[in-house]
Structure 1
Amino acid sequence: MRVTTSKSKNSESFYITKSYTNAQGKSTSTTIKKLGTLAELSERLGTDRDGVMAWAKEQARIETEKYKKETEEAVVTIPFHSNRLMDYNRKKLFTGGYLFLQSVYYGLKMDSICRKIRYRYKFKYDLNAILSDLIYTRVLEPSSKTSSFKAAQQFLEAPTYELHDIYRALSVLAKECDLIQSEVYKNSFFLGKRNDKVLYYDCTNYYFEIEQEDGDKKYGKSKEHRPNPIIQMGLFTDGDGIPLAFSLFPGSQNEQKSLKPLETKILQQFGCQKFIYCSDAGLASEDNRVLNHLGQRSFIVTQSIKKLPAEDREWALNTKGFKRLSDDSPVDITQLSEDDKQGLFYKDEPYTTKKLHQRLIITYSPKYAAYEKAVRAEQIARAEKMVANGAVKRQRKNPNDPARFVNKIAATKEGEKAEIHYYLDLEKIAEEEKYDGLYAVCTDLLDDDVADILKVSEGRWQIEDCFRTMKTDFDARPVYVSREDRIQAHFLICFLALLHFRMLKKALKTPCTTEQLLHILRSIKFADIEEQGFMPVYERQRITDELHEACGFRTDYQFITKRKMKEIQKKSKRR
C-alpha cells in the first residue's frame, strides 16, 4: 500500500491506496482509507507538509502489515460441485521445482548476459526465457529439445516462444559459449565465495547414435566401450566441485592436448592466475606439469607407480621408510596394529625429470589394500573356473578382466607344436599384489605439508561425480543433435544445468546426495484449485525447508493464492 494525494483549488487530501490486478488482467488501484486534508493533519499533528507525509507513510505501513496478517491467516473457501464436469483443455497440475533453480539463474545474472548477447544480434525471440527453460528441463526432465519445450509448458510460467525459436537460439548460444562461461564465472561470486585456488581437470567422452564419423564426431577410445563415434569434453571444476569451464574436442584427439587451450582461456578470460592444478595420471604429462609450473600456478597430480623409472619404482614398492600421516612417526607397514589398519602412511623423496624438479609422495592404505585383495580373489576364482572348464576367451583390454591371470602353453619342452594348455599365472598375480594399497602423487610444492597435498588430491572424486551427474542424471548422452553449433549449445546447456544444480546443492545447510535433491526438485508440483489458487502436492521435508530458506521464498503453504504465487515467482527472480 502507498500514500497518494489529490489537490483541489483550496486544499490537498491524503489517501492510502492499494494496487491490484482486475479481472481483465490490468493493473489498477483502489482507495483503502482517507487520512484527511493537509490543513486538518497539520493542525492535529503540529507539523508541516513533510511531517504530515512521514506520518501518512507510517499509517500506510501499518495498514500493509494489517492486510498481510489478515490475508495470511484467512481461511479460503472454494466451492466444489459433485455434478459439474471439468472444463476441456484446462491444465490442473503444474511443475514448480524450477523455481529454486530460477533463484540460482537470476542470482548468476543470466538475464543480464542474455541481454548483452541480444544487443549483438537482431533476433526477436526471448533468449533469456529459452535458455532458462532449457536449463531447468535438463535438470528436472532431461530429454530432446522438442520434449523439453513440451515439458516447459507444464511450468507455472509457461513459454511464450515457439519451438523453432529454440533451434535458432542454439546457434547463438554456440557462438557466445566462451562469453557465457566467463560471465557466469564472474557473476557466481554474487552467490558466495568460490574455492578457485584449486582447479580439478578431467576429460570424458559422449557417444552419438550414428555409425559414421562426421566433423568432431570421431571414432576413439570410448569410456563406455561403445563402437560409436564420440566427442570429448574437458572440464575444470573448482575446489568445491563447482563447474568452472569446459571445452569440446574431437573424439580421436589425445586428451593430453586438450588442457592447454582451455587453461589459456581461463587465464585470459576468467582472470584466474594463482591456482593448484590437479588431475589424474592420464592428464599429467610432463608438458602439462610444465604448463602449471609457470607463473603463480602449481600442480598436484596422480603418478602411475608402474611407469616410474626402475630405481624410483623399486623405492616406491619397498615397504621400508613409511611414516604415519597423523604424527610423522616411523612405521613398519608389514606389522601394523589393528588401530593402524584404519590409518594412512606415506614416504616422499625428490623426483627429478628432464624438465622439472618434483616431489614424489607414496601413500599406503591398509584398508584399500584389503579391498584390492578381496576384489582380486574373486577375479582369481573366476579365472580358475575358466581354466578348469577350458573356456578361456580372448583377453580384453579391460584391466579387471579375470582372463589376464590365465596363460597358455602351445608347445612341448622340445619346441614341438602341441595341444594348447591353459594355466593360472601365479607370477602375474604376485606382481599385481606388490601394488596393493599403494598410491603415488607428484607435485612441485616441495615444502608444503603432505597432509594438505593429499587432501587436495583426494578431492578429485568431485569432478568424477560431475561427469556421472551429467551422463546419468541429466542424460547428456547419447547426443541426438548433429550440427556442430547445436552440439556445442547442447553441452553448454548441460554444463550450465550442472552449475546451477551444484550451486543450489552447496547452498543447503545439511549435506544431501544428488539423487535426494533431484528427487525433491522433480516432485515439487502444484494443483490448480478452480482457478482460485494453487495447492502444493508434494511432501514437506527437511530438504524442502532448507531449499526455501536458501532461496528466500516459501511454497509449502496449505493454499497459495494467485497473487501470492506471483509474489513467489518474483522472489525467485530476486526481485
Structure 2
Amino acid sequence: MYLRTVRSRGVEYVQLAHSRWKGGQSRPEILYNFGRKEQLDLDALRRLVKSISRFLEPEEVQSIQQELGLDWPFEFLGSRKLGGTWLLDGVWRRLKLDRAFNRLLSQRGYRTPVERLIFAMVANRALAPGSKLGMEHWVANEVWIEGLPEVEVHQLYRAMDFLLEAHDEVQREVFYSVANLLNLEVDLLFVDTTSTYFEIEDEEADTEEAEGFRKRGKSKDGRPGLAQVVIGFAVTRDGIPVRCWVWPGNTSDMNVVEEVKRDLNGWKLGRVVVVMDTGFNSEENRRILQGAGDAYILGEKMRLGKGGTPHEALKRPGTYKKLAHGLEIKEVVVQPESAAHRRFVVVYNPEEAERDRKKREDIVAEAEQRLAELGDLEGKEHSKAVCALRSHPTYGRYLRQTKTGALKMNRAKIRQEERLDGKLLVSTSDDGLSTEDVVAGYKQLWQIERVNRQLKHTVDIRPVFHRLEDRIRAHVLLCWLALLLIRVAENETHRTWNQMKLLLSTLELGIHRTHHGEVCQTNRVTQDQKALFEALHIKPPARYLAIPTPRSA
C-alpha cells in the first residue's frame, strides 16, 4: 500500500493505492482519493500516520523515523552571545535597578516589559552600540536576555518615553539604590560637561514655543561647525556617575551651575563639596555652590586679563610643603581679615615644571629662528609672513612689536612664564579642609574625564540617530545607565570593560531542537569567567537555561 500522484489535464492528484495481481501482472488499485495535491489536508495526513504507528512496535517507529531523517536527537538551531548580557543583568539586579524601575512602573499601566526593554537598550550601549531599529535583530538573533526573547522598535520607543517622563524619579531611585548598596561616599561630587555632535542633522531653529535643542556652540570635540548638545555628569570619588543632565548645544559651563546645584539639593544629600574645573569659575557660581551650607573646590586661571597677568595668589610669598608623592603645596589666603576672603592652594610639580621648561625652550628657539629668517624689519612695511608670525597662536605669544613696527622676542613674557612652570592653582570655600585634601580632591577630576571618554569611545554616544529633543534626552539617559554598570563592574573587578568583554566573548548559549521542544545549553564557564562573576557577586549561568517538559507517551 502506498501513496501515489497522477496528473490529469495539468493538475496533480494524490491517491492511496495498493498493487493487485491480475492476469499475471501487478496492477494498482485505488483505495482512496485525497484530492488535488495543492489542497491536501496535511493535518489529516498526520493524524493518519499517528494512527497507523500505534500498531507498530516503538523500535520500528524509531527505525522508520531515523531512515526518514526525522529522529535526529538534536537539531542545532544556532547560538547567542551570553557572557556580556549575563554579567550586566547581574549587576543591574544586584544594584536593584530592576526593582527601582518596577516600583515606578507599578503606578502606570504598561503591558509590555518596560524594565526589560530599558535594560536591553542599556546592555546594547555597553556591548554593541547601534540604532534602536537594529536592536530588533540584536535581541532576537545575537544575544540572550532573560525575559526578553524579542523586541519591536515601537516598544523600545515607548520605553524611552517612560524613561524621559520619569527621569527625575528614575535618577533619584537609581542613585539611592546604588549609593545604599555600594556605600558610596557622596560628600565629594565631581561635575563636568562635555558635548556630542550631530553629523547629519543641522542646527534646530528656535520657535515661539521653545528654543532649539540642537545648536552650534563651543565644541569639546573640535567640531565647531556642527550642531551639538551639551551633557553633564555628577561623579563620585569612586568614578560612579550618579546624575546626568542634557542642555542645548549653545549652553556654556557658566550657565549650568545653578541647575546642577538645585537638582543635587533636591536629593538632600547632606553637606556636599562640589569639585569643578576652571570653566565653571565665576563669582556668581561660587556664591551658588556655597548655598545650603555646601562648599566647592574649583580650578583657577593662573593668567588674568588680556595681558595674561599672573593671578594675585601666585604673587604672594610663602613656604611650600613637600608631599610624599613629590608635589609641593602652599596655602594663600587673599583678604584674610575680610568676610569676602578667598582661600587658594598653589600646587607645584617639579617634574611638570621640567617638562614645561623644555617645551617652552623649544618654542622660543623656533620663534627666534623664524624671526631671523624675516631679516631686519626696522621701518619696513609688514609682509604676510610678518603678520602670520605675529598672530601665530604658539610663537606669537613670545613676540612683541616695537613702536617702529619691528618684531622682537618678548623676554619679559618669557620670564613671567618661567615663574608659572609646573604650577596649578586651586581655590576652595571650605576653611576646614586641609590643603592636602583640597589638592587630592581636585586631582580626582580625572575620574569624570574618564567617564567622558567612555561616553564617547565605549558606549559610543555618537552617532546619535535621534533628532527630536525628547529622544535625544532619553538616549543620553540610556548611555548614563550603561556607564553606571560599566564603572561599577570596573571598580569591583579591577579590570577594564574591554578586558571583561573579551573574557566573556566565548560564553555562549547553544539552542537545540528536540522532540520535546527547544533546549538552551551554555558552554562551560572557564575559571577566569567564574572569578569575574564571583568578584561581582553574580551567580554564573547554569548549563541549561531552558529545558522542555517531556510529552506524555
- TM-score of the pair, normalised by structure 2: 0.72
2:417 & 2:522 partners in 1: Cα distance? 61
Question: Shift in Å at residue 183 of structure 1?
Answer: 0.5
SS at 1:97 equivalent:
helix
Deviations 1:196-251 (A, max 9, x none): 01011111111112233342111101011211011111211112111111111111
Contact 1:405-1:424 within 8 A present in 2 as well = no
Contact 1:290-1:356 within 8 A present in 2 as well = no
| Cross-structure match for 1:345 | 328
SS at 1:92 equivalent:
strand
| Cross-structure match for 2:355 | 371
| Cross-structure match for 1:240 | 238
Q: Which runs of 5+ in 1 are unaligned?
A: 1-80, 328-341, 416-420, 567-575
SS at 1:448 equivalent:
coil
In structure 2, do the counterparts of structure 1 residues 92 and 546 end up closer, same or farther at CA, with 3 Å as the change threshold? closer
Question: Shift in Å at residue 260 of structure 1?
Answer: 1.4
Is 1:223 the counterpart of 2:220? The answer is yes
1:160 & 1:369 partners in 2: Cα distance? 58
Q: Between Structure 1 and Structure 2, how many residues are aligned? A: 450
1:324 & 1:260 partners in 2: Cα distance? 35
Contact 1:170-1:486 within 8 A present in 2 as well = yes
Question: Shift in Å at residue 426 of structure 1?
Answer: 5.1
Amino acid of the residue matched to residue 126 of structure 1?
P
Contact 1:275-1:297 within 8 A present in 2 as well = yes
| Cross-structure match for 1:102 | 89
SS at 2:256 equivalent:
helix
| Cross-structure match for 2:204 | 213
SS at 2:194 equivalent:
strand
Amino acid of the residue matched to residue 470 of structure 2?
D
SS at 1:359 equivalent:
strand
1:316 & 1:188 partners in 2: Cα distance? 41
2:310 & 2:343 partners in 1: Cα distance? 12
| Cross-structure match for 1:463 | 448
Amino acid of the residue matched to residue 534 of structure 2?
H
Which one of 276, 279, 288 corresponds to residue 279 of structure 1? 276
Deviations 1:490-516 (A, max 9, x none): 0000011111111122222xx333443
Deviations 1:463-513 (A, max 9, x none): 1111011011111123220111100100000011111111122222xx333
SS at 1:115 equivalent:
helix
Amino acid of the residue matched to residue 258 of structure 1?
V
1:480 & 1:392 partners in 2: Cα distance? 47
| Cross-structure match for 1:189 | 179
SS at 2:118 equivalent:
helix
SS at 2:204 equivalent:
coil
Contact 1:126-1:161 within 8 A present in 2 as well = no
1:537 & 1:373 partners in 2: Cα distance? 57
In structure 2, do the counterparts of structure 1 residues 483 and 456 end up closer, same or farther at CA, with 3 Å as the change threshold? same
Is 1:140 the counterpart of 2:131? The answer is no
Is 1:548 the counterpart of 2:548? The answer is no
Question: Shift in Å at residue 363 of structure 1?
Answer: 1.4
2:459 & 2:339 partners in 1: Cα distance? 42
Deviations 1:60-103 (A, max 9, x none): xxxxxxxxxxxxxxxxxxxxx9xx99968x22242321111111
Which one of 512, 525, 535 corresponds to residue 495 of structure 2? 512
Amino acid of the residue matched to residue 288 of structure 1?
N
| Cross-structure match for 1:162 | 152
In structure 2, do the counterparts of structure 1 residues 378 and 481 end up closer, same or farther at CA, with 3 Å as the change threshold? farther
Question: Shift in Å at residue 184 of structure 1?
Answer: 0.3
Which one of 387, 402, 423 corresponds to residue 394 of structure 2? 402
Within 5 Å, give how 1:249-398 maps onto structure 2. 249-268=247-266, 270-307=267-304, 313=311, 316-317=314-315, 321-326=318-323, 343-352=326-335, 356-380=340-364
Question: Shift in Å at residue 369 of structure 1?
Answer: 0.9
Amino acid of the residue matched to residue 252 of structure 2?
N
2:288 & 2:139 partners in 1: Cα distance? 44
Which one of 484, 487, 490 corresponds to residue 472 of structure 2? 487
Q: Which runs of 5+ in 2 are unaligned?
A: 1-68, 206-211, 375-384, 514-518, 549-553
1:397 & 1:213 partners in 2: Cα distance? 34
SS at 1:402 equivalent:
coil
Larger radius of gyration: 2
Question: Shift in Å at residue 349 of structure 1?
Answer: 2.2
Segment drifting more, 440-449 vs 452-461: 440-449
2:215 & 2:308 partners in 1: Cα distance? 37
SS at 1:304 equivalent:
coil
CA RMSD of aligned residues (A): 3.6
In structure 2, do the counterparts of structure 1 residues 425 and 537 end up closer, same or farther at CA, with 3 Å as the change threshold? farther
Question: Shift in Å at residue 143 of structure 1?
Answer: 1.8
2:547 & 2:455 partners in 1: Cα distance? 31
1:507 & 1:450 partners in 2: Cα distance? 30
| Cross-structure match for 2:115 | 128
Amino acid of the residue matched to residue 254 of structure 2?
Q
Question: Shift in Å at residue 306 of structure 1?
Answer: 1.3
Which one of 163, 167, 178 corresponds to residue 177 of structure 1? 167
Amino acid of the residue matched to residue 348 of structure 2?
Y
In structure 2, do the counterparts of structure 1 residues 91 and 363 end up closer, same or farther at CA, with 3 Å as the change threshold? same
| Cross-structure match for 1:151 | 138
Amino acid of the residue matched to residue 342 of structure 2?
Q
Contact 1:380-1:402 within 8 A present in 2 as well = no
| Cross-structure match for 2:543 | 561
2:335 & 2:425 partners in 1: Cα distance? 15
- TM-score of the pair, normalised by structure 1: 0.69
Question: Shift in Å at residue 263 of structure 1?
Answer: 2.0
